[in-house]
Copies of this chain bind each other. A is one copy, B any other.
């Protein structure tokens, strides 16, 4: 339970009473390699904090899976669109490695937001950080070639490349497996 406390502390100050309130709402969970936290079509009702392991979120397009996010240890994972709307999700979430999670339900979180200004502030700051990250990631696609996007990935998450199948990394970069394979061949 310590990891998430650290993760929150990085983002905002949490007084002890807020933390106790928050902790109360968390549910622990384990999930095996290859298992699904949710399938496309499910409605997303939780935000997950990944303690250990690795998750991928993917979108289905014409029967093919396109990875839209990898979630690393000590990060949060959900499908914001479905969570907010209450509608079925277009996203699935799968564990690429055995993973341990702490999850909080949407309804509990809404209650916490109302009960505690500090927790609300935490939510806001977390979203700010996510949006900033997303903006950077978007610029990869607007401004740079497949090769450059791969190089950024090498810089930013070198370890991830060893943990993820090439096909899924390719789809995350918005390209075909074959293209990524060729890009990697260049630097041999």
Contact = CB atoms under 8 A, between A and B. Distances in A.
A131 B130 contact: yes
Residues of A in contact with B, size category? 20 to 34
B135 A134 contact: yes
By DSSP majority rule, is chain A's interface helix, strand, loop, or mixed?
Answer: helix
B66 A143 contact: yes
A174 interface: yes
Interface stretch (A15-23, A38-46, A117-125): A117-125
7 contacts: A66-B143, A68-B135, A80-B131, A81-B136, A137-B138, A138-B138, A142-B172
Given A66-B143, A68-B135, 17 more contacts: A59-B139, A68-B138, A80-B131, A80-B135, A81-B132, A81-B135, A81-B136, A84-B128, A117-B120, A120-B121, A124-B124, A124-B127, A130-B131, A131-B131, A134-B134, A138-B141, A143-B174
